[in-house]
Structure formats: C-alpha cells, structure tokens
Amino acid sequence: MKILVVEDDKATREYLAKGLTETGHVVDTASNGRDGLFLAAGEPYDMMVVDRMLPGLDGAGIVRTVRAAGVRTPILLLTTMGGIDDRVEGLNAGADDYLVKPFALAELFARLNALARRPPLGTEPTRLRVADLEMDLLARAVTRAGRRIDLQPREFRLLECLLRHAGQVVTRSMLLEKVWDFHFDPQTNIVETHLSRLRGKVDRGFGAELIHTVRGAGYCLRAPDEPRT
C-alpha cells in the first residue's frame, strides 16, 4: 500500500516510516498539518496515518478538509488524548479508526490491515431486497409488494440485520449483539417477542413467509423459492 504518515515528532515519524517500509509499503511523510494536507489532497494514497495534535493544522482539521474535498482514503488517527470526547471528535470529523499513544507497531499494522479489508466508502448498498420485501436505508422505509410497512426503530434494526444476512442463519446471540448491543444473554424472551411482532408486520397478509425459525440454530430470512440452509 501507499501510505501517508503525518506526524510532527521526528522519532515517531521515522519509526513508523521504517516499520511500514520494512513490511513492503511505500511511505510518504509530513511533519506538520499543512504539508500533510497538501500531500493528502494531491496524491492518491491507500491509507493515511495522522497525528491528532499537529502544528499548523491539527489532525481533525486535516480529516475534515479531505473528507469535504471528497477524499475517501481510510484514515487512522494517532492521539495521546485518551478521553472519549477527543476520540469522538476525531471519528465525527471522518476518521475511520484511532490509536492511543504509546502503541505497538503490531497493533498499528493490524488496524491498518483491518481498514484495508473494509469496502470503500460509498459502496455500501442503500437498499436491501429479498423477494418483494425492500428496505430503503436512506429513507428508513420498508415496503413489501409495494405496500408500506411501519416499523418501530428496534424492529427496523432487526429486519435490517436479517436482510443483510439474507439466506443465512442468524443466531439469537448475533441479534442480541447487533440489534440490542448486548454482549451477554439477558435471559429474557426479548428476541422472540420482537421477532413475533416483526413477522406479524412483514409476513402476515402476504402470499409467502420470508422469516423462518431454524430450530436449534436461529432465524433466517429467505425468498420463498430459496433452498433451506
């Protein structure tokens, strides 16, 4: 990959450049925000590593400016500021990830590799469809056979998760994590209750059921003519 490193501390900048070069990457560097912005706006990079605190223009300012200019290159922010507000500001500016100093090169490499595996910004679908069921993610609207279906926010997230994994079994644990942000089992029937309501809205009154229970495994949303997994 071709990587831009914007870091004002000389030792850190050289350390990063050396480590990235040794692992086969092409590296350009800048020691201040204005030079970093000049390179970021004028050169095509596969990845950017930008320090949060820079002379001339800070890292969040670089991120905001290049995003406003339409640059979609993944950006990893380096920061000594571990506070939540500081991290949120960088991410809201358009950064894709952050890493708090001091850090290990191995973790930085792992984070860059993870960013490289993500689909480019703007390639995520804005509509999800299975059979005659369609979800418009931008309008936050759901229709089936052209008929509008009104969903509560949690029901919308539940259906979105099923649509994104259409044809695949989605486990109860996956739904708890993705829809409710639970990383544990609350030992309630919250999933079953919401799925029952969702089925009543999505399947009842239409020609074929789309949401299926896979006994002992989870749930699956699939087209009527699609084989069972």
pLDDT digits (tens, 9 = 90+) for 55-102: 989 999 999 998 888 888 899 999 886 566 666 777 888 888 888 888
pLDDT band at 227; cut points 50, 70, 90: low
Compute how many other C-beta atoms are within 10 angstroms of the C-beta atom of residue 183: 8
Q: What are the Cα distances from residue 176, in Å, to 134, 146, 189?
A: 23, 30, 11
Which strand (E) or helix (H) includes residue 219? Answer: strand 218-221
Enter the tokens of residue 15: 């350390």
Output the pLDDT for position 137.
84
Dihedrals φ, ψ of 48, to 5°? -130, 140
Give the three-class secondary structure for 50.
strand
Q: Do domains 2-117 and 127-221 have the same CATH topology?
A: no
User: What is the CATH class of 127-221?
Assistant: mainly alpha
Which strand (E) or helix (H) includes residue 229? Answer: none
Name the DSSP letter for residue 70: T
Enter the tokens of residue 36: 């970093």
Number of H helices, E strands in the chain: 8, 11
Dihedrals φ, ψ of 129, to 5°? -145, 135
Instruction: Give the integer Cα–Cα distance in Å for 57 and 6.
Output: 11
Is there a contact between 5 and 35 (Cβ–Cβ < 8 Å)?
no
Convert the pLDDT of each residue in 156-201 to its tens digit. Answer: 999 999 998 899 999 989 999 888 888 778 888 999 999 999 999 9
Kindly report whether the peptide bond that precedes residue 102 is cis, defined as omega within 30 degrees of 0: yes
User: What is the CATH class of 2-117?
Assistant: alpha beta
Convert the pLDDT of each residue in 20-65 to its tens digit. Answer: 999 889 999 999 999 999 999 888 899 999 998 899 899 999 999 9
User: Where do the structural domains in the chain lie, given as residue ranges?
Assistant: 2-117, 127-221
The model's pTM is 0.54
pLDDT band at 229; cut points 50, 70, 90: low
Look at the block and give the residue holding tokens 């994994």: 165
Output the pLDDT for position 182.
83
Convert the pLDDT of each residue in 124-147 to its tens digit. Answer: 567 899 999 999 987 889 999 999
